Structure 1
Amino acid sequence: MLQSPKTNNNVPFSQEEKGNQLFPVFVKLNQLRTLLIGGGNIGLEKLTAIVNNSFQADVTIVAENINPVIVDLIVGYPNVKIKQKRYDASDLNDVDIVFVATGDNVLNEQIRTEAHDKGLLINVADKPELCDFYLGSIVQKGDLKIAISTNGKSPTIAKRLKEILNDGIPAELDETLQNMSALRQTLKGDFASKVKTLNKVTENLINNKKSFAERNIKWLIWLSIILFIYTAGLTLWNTEPEFKTFLIDIDPLFYWFLGAGFVFAMVDGAIGMSYGVTTASFSLAMGLPPASASMAIHISEVLSNGIAGWMHYKMGNVNWKLFRLLIIPAIIGAVLGAYILSSLEHYSAYVKPVVGVYTLVLGGIILKKAFNIKKKKAAGDKIKKIGPLGFVGGFIDAAFGGGWGSIVLSSLIAGGRHPLFSLGTVKISRFFIATLSSLTFFTMLGGRYWEAVLGLIIGSALASPIAARVSNKISAKTIMVAVGIIVMIVSLRSVIMFILKLI
């Protein structure tokens, strides 16, 4: 009778191959002799991974051609040596572990066979079937190190998890780790009592305690929405009797702004910026004065950013420490900007070209960032002055009708902050900023241009939940190029029209 094939451990192959069968270990490369075969870009990637995790590793690089970047890199690592020559089997002598990065499949097979003949473990770049071990994505905070493996199925998923963990785990955790080590040395008693004491000290790490804002963000958003609706409704009831007739006889302007609100909110959700800039340019082109345009923009953003902020909160995309540093200065700047712009409403003919020049410049900045979207500073160079950034971003956004995302989000990402968490934090902050600046505009101006306001509110609200979910599935570069060009054209038209009137 036929039986299922067995392994040496009498485990059926079907059972053995199920799931991730890799055994995780942390290797002391600083105590081993490492051979790296290959000196191109892949070799550079492997060498960088090795020295970043074990800067005292004893590494010998064997390759006929050496990437100049490798030569520059090893200046800071005296234990790394280069043998610029063709590989032969003798290179495996006096070696403990082997990394292969040649790109030559025939040579890779040869090296693997010869390495196994000598009992050496080998890793072959981009060839999982030839590897005895894989290099996982690494998250490191001081002495804490986490390795992530997908069993070779998806390095992209591993890198994505690395980004999330790297941003989510506070750097201060290493300080806690050092304190725990010191505490451990002072503990007395048997093993069970030591474990009990350490568990009590680290209990707060697993309790997942949330700040007041995290626990109550849903209610804060709803309370702000109710406060806004009540204030807006009361203001309209007392100052704008025409609003009642508006609901019966809708101006075609409403439909233009309905479509614009939907499109601009989708774009904003995809790249995290440009809603204010695109809407301001569009509003000015449709004849709205700057203050009224900014009011319409910020009112529409109350609901759309409340929805988007809630979606990002539910998806865990909010950095609450960053939120706390950002929100108060940003609100102060936004309210101040709204007050000043509203005070200049009577001079809208002169303010309008100024706003046009501003949006023209922002369009150029967006276009520039489109071609530098992947350039980031090192993680250690994170932007520190969050409060002043929030104040400036809030003020300019309210005073000129847009720029919060273009200024704040782009600065956070350029300053080394994680793009996804920066986007979520900026979105949820934007909700509170839009609410407070809208209330300021209402107090100063009353209700005006409600065709534009309602169109933007409904259009952007419809787009917001969709945009939040597709924010990482659209080519941001393509959208940013298109937005930059359109904003510059519309803004340039506004400036030219003003100049022609003067002439």
Structure 2
Amino acid sequence: MHLSPKPTNNADTFSDEENGNQLFPVFIKLNKLRTLLIGAGNIGLEKLTAIVNNSKHAKITIVAEIISPEVYALVANHPLINIKQKSFDVSDLNDIDIVFAATNNVILNEEIRAVTHERGLLINVADKPDLCDFYLGSIVQKGDLKIAISTNGKSPTIAKRLKQILNEGIPAELDETLQNMSALRQTLNGDFSSKVKKLNKVTQSLINPKKSFAEQNIKWLIWIAAVLLIGAIGFSLWNTEPAFQTFLINIDPLFYWFLGAGFAFALIDGAIGMSYGVTTASFSLAMGLPPASASMAIHISEVLSNGIAGWMHYRMGNVNWKLFKILILPAIIGAVLGAYILSSLEHYSSYVKPVVAVYTLFLGGVILMKAFNIKRKKASDKIKKIGLLGFFGGFIDAAFGGGWGSIVLSSLIAGGRHPLFSLGTVKISRFFIATLSSLTFFTMLGGKHWEAVVGLIIGSALAAPIAARVSNKISAKSIMVAVGIIVIAVSLRSVIVFILKLI
């Protein structure tokens, strides 16, 4: 807020441009003041919305000859707002502390400013920075944390753009940290200096947090688990499966199809955090693989690709370890159970295949809808039953060949979790889920369709480091639309083929 300058002579007069930004940032308790808003058209609605969004209990009087229906609709939910449908006169300034002029009449706005200053009141005049005593900045809010942005009236567009960047960059979980710090502050004893020292000691962990064993050694845990799993499977197959030896010596052309598919689908998955399972499952069924073998191929290939992607996200600081600890154990249990059930039904693959196709058809529709309607709830509404979500996501992912990202990641983001941290956590969790479900599939099924397995492993591993780096540089909406259409088309084809066979 700034007061209008009242120069005594020209020598003492300096413009804002000569002195830089002269605004003094303050936060006003509008719920303690009496506010007058003059004008109730589109401009008035914009001002009114800004006020009530930041101060729901503000006491506001609206004066205007014409009241828009949108203003009436907004006022209906705020009983402290009073409407006077009339022309403005000086008596409207009685018992008022602060004024907003939002009419589209330039002369009237200037007259309102003049009489307001005679009363010693502060005024904001819409779209007229030179007439304003204070500006309304772009606001970023995460619970009790509120950040105001001002460009000194030079460019509201830049202020709005910065607001978008900060809204995405500041996690909603920061409000939880703020509440914890407030509770801690209430427990501290001693003088102000001692309290500051104690709070500084606590907040030091935000800058240099103490890492758990898993955080310190996640790189080696990922690589050891991936190498041991793939090495053990490869060694076992080489000694017990002549077909696998034949595959390595005489590569089936199908290998190259799955190599390309693994690369493309892993690249898409890294960009939007979902759809590798559902796209690969749809492709595998279309290529003739039974559902259990398709899911085995998908999950074995995900061991290395998700290990690499998870490591990349860890290096970039995109993992929420608290969320990871809650999510991982139920997810592993669900994945192992889903893999066991699907493997047990391998002999009935001709009947299971259309069921999986219907499921992937449904997920294709879900992906397509999310592409056009991505909404995030407020932090207060964020999802609570994360363990149950992890179990359900792990089970569906293993039993139907995919869905972990579509179910878990989309639910976390829709529930108010930060997209980038959710993506990193889901990717690193997927590594451990893929490892355990792969072992279950291999134990139950043995070596089958290795042209698909090896192709997906190599293709997805090649794409993983690229995908992690471009995850926030590609239009997620465009990719999701394309993926949704492709999955629906391929799944629909499988369903139609099954129906035609029945006929």
Same fold (TM over 0.5): yes
Structure 2 CA distance for aligned equivalents of residues 108 and 429 of structure 1: 62
Sequence identity, in percent? 71
1:257 corresponding residue in structure 2: 258
1:27 corresponding residue in structure 2: 28
2:394 corresponding residue in structure 1: 394
Q: Tell me how far 1:409 sits from its aligned partner.
A: 1.9
Deviations 1:92-149 (A, max 9, x none): 66644344556x49579747964885565555667777763342423344xx533142
2:244 corresponding residue in structure 1: 243
Of the three residues 181, 186, 190, the one matched with 1:187 is 190
In the superposition, relative to structure 1, how do residues 106 and 468 fare at CA in structure 2: closer, same or farther (>3 Å)? farther
1:159 corresponding residue in structure 2: 164
Q: Tell me how far 1:417 sits from its aligned partner.
A: 2.8
Structure 1 CA distance for aligned equivalents of residues 261 and 165 of structure 2: 33
1:297 corresponding residue in structure 2: 298
In the superposition, relative to structure 1, how do residues 124 and 482 fare at CA in structure 2: closer, same or farther (>3 Å)? farther
Are 1:138 and 2:140 matched, yes or no? yes
In the superposition, relative to structure 1, how do residues 139 and 215 fare at CA in structure 2: closer, same or farther (>3 Å)? farther
1:368 corresponding residue in structure 2: 369
2:351 corresponding residue in structure 1: 350
Confirm or deny: 8 A CA contact 1:138 1:148 kept in the other structure: yes
2:337 corresponding residue in structure 1: 336
2:80 corresponding residue in structure 1: 79
1:432 corresponding residue in structure 2: 432
In the superposition, relative to structure 1, how do residues 285 and 105 fare at CA in structure 2: closer, same or farther (>3 Å)? farther
Q: Tell me how far 1:401 sits from its aligned partner.
A: 0.6
Q: Secondary structure at the match of 2:82?
A: strand
Q: Tell me how far 1:76 sits from its aligned partner.
A: 4.8
Confirm or deny: 8 A CA contact 1:148 1:162 kept in the other structure: no
Q: State which drifts further: 277-286 or 225-234.
A: 225-234
Q: Secondary structure at the match of 1:138?
A: strand
1:499 corresponding residue in structure 2: 499
Confirm or deny: 8 A CA contact 2:142 2:174 kept in the other structure: no
Q: Secondary structure at the match of 1:25?
A: coil
Q: Secondary structure at the match of 1:273?
A: coil
1:177 corresponding residue in structure 2: 182
Q: Secondary structure at the match of 1:137?
A: strand
Structure 2 CA distance for aligned equivalents of residues 464 and 145 of structure 1: 36
2:60 corresponding residue in structure 1: 59
Query: How many residues are matched?
Result: 487
Structure 2 CA distance for aligned equivalents of residues 263 and 108 of structure 1: 62
Q: Secondary structure at the match of 1:147?
A: strand
Structure 1 CA distance for aligned equivalents of residues 425 and 171 of structure 2: 16
Amino acid at match of 1:332: I
Deviations 1:364-409 (A, max 9, x none): 22233333323x4443222211111111111111111111112212
Amino acid at match of 1:187: G
Structure 2 CA distance for aligned equivalents of residues 414 and 222 of structure 1: 32
Confirm or deny: 8 A CA contact 1:295 1:438 kept in the other structure: yes
Q: Tell me how far 1:65 sits from its aligned partner.
A: 4.5
Structure 2 CA distance for aligned equivalents of residues 432 and 129 of structure 1: 60
Deviations 1:50-100 (A, max 9, x none): 334333323233445445454344345443222334667776666443445
In the superposition, relative to structure 1, how do residues 342 and 495 fare at CA in structure 2: closer, same or farther (>3 Å)? same
Q: Secondary structure at the match of 1:380?
A: helix
2:281 corresponding residue in structure 1: 280
Amino acid at match of 2:443: T
In the superposition, relative to structure 1, how do residues 44 and 200 fare at CA in structure 2: closer, same or farther (>3 Å)? same
Q: Secondary structure at the match of 1:27?
A: coil
Confirm or deny: 8 A CA contact 2:379 2:416 kept in the other structure: yes
Deviations 1:17-43 (A, max 9, x none): 3xx765332222233333334435664
Map 1:446-461 to 2 at 5 A.
446-461=446-461
Q: Secondary structure at the match of 2:319?
A: coil
Amino acid at match of 1:448: K
Q: Tell me how far 1:293 sits from its aligned partner.
A: 0.8
Q: Tell me how far 1:200 sits from its aligned partner.
A: 4.8
Structure 1 CA distance for aligned equivalents of residues 272 and 313 of structure 2: 14
Amino acid at match of 2:356: V
In the superposition, relative to structure 1, how do residues 106 and 170 fare at CA in structure 2: closer, same or farther (>3 Å)? closer
Q: State which drifts further: 442-451 or 291-300.
A: 442-451
Q: Secondary structure at the match of 1:82?
A: strand
Amino acid at match of 2:170: L
Amino acid at match of 2:29: K
Q: State which drifts further: 437-446 or 273-282.
A: 437-446
In the superposition, relative to structure 1, how do residues 475 and 238 fare at CA in structure 2: closer, same or farther (>3 Å)? same
Q: State which drifts further: 160-169 or 429-438.
A: 160-169
Amino acid at match of 1:180: R
Q: Secondary structure at the match of 2:25?
A: coil
Which sections of structure 2, spanning at least 5 residues, go unmatched?
1-9
1:3 corresponding residue in structure 2: none
Q: Tell me how far 1:286 sits from its aligned partner.
A: 0.6
Q: Secondary structure at the match of 1:171?
A: helix
Q: State which drifts further: 439-448 or 43-52.
A: 43-52
Confirm or deny: 8 A CA contact 2:113 2:131 kept in the other structure: no
Structure 2 CA distance for aligned equivalents of residues 126 and 234 of structure 1: 73
Question: Which TM-score applies when normalising by structure 2?
Answer: 0.84
Question: Which TM-score applies when normalising by structure 1?
Answer: 0.84
Q: Secondary structure at the match of 1:61?
A: strand
Q: State which drifts further: 149-158 or 376-385.
A: 149-158
Q: State which drifts further: 376-385 or 396-405.
A: 376-385
Amino acid at match of 1:404: W
Confirm or deny: 8 A CA contact 1:239 1:446 kept in the other structure: no
In the superposition, relative to structure 1, how do residues 464 and 93 fare at CA in structure 2: closer, same or farther (>3 Å)? farther
Structure 2 CA distance for aligned equivalents of residues 469 and 21 of structure 1: 41
2:3 corresponding residue in structure 1: none
Q: Tell me how far 1:324 sits from its aligned partner.
A: 1.4
Confirm or deny: 8 A CA contact 1:231 1:439 kept in the other structure: no
Q: Secondary structure at the match of 1:23?
A: coil
In the superposition, relative to structure 1, how do residues 8 and 466 fare at CA in structure 2: closer, same or farther (>3 Å)? farther
In the superposition, relative to structure 1, how do residues 40 and 268 fare at CA in structure 2: closer, same or farther (>3 Å)? farther
In the superposition, relative to structure 1, how do residues 198 and 430 fare at CA in structure 2: closer, same or farther (>3 Å)? closer
Amino acid at match of 1:491: S
In the superposition, relative to structure 1, how do residues 125 and 259 fare at CA in structure 2: closer, same or farther (>3 Å)? farther
Map 1:456-495 to 2 at 5 A.
456-495=456-495
Q: Secondary structure at the match of 1:423?
A: helix
Structure 1 CA distance for aligned equivalents of residues 457 and 425 of structure 2: 21
Map 1:224-239 to 2 at 5 A.
224-239=225-240
In the superposition, relative to structure 1, how do residues 424 and 84 fare at CA in structure 2: closer, same or farther (>3 Å)? farther
Structure 1 CA distance for aligned equivalents of residues 287 and 11 of structure 2: 75
Q: Tell me how far 1:171 sits from its aligned partner.
A: 1.7
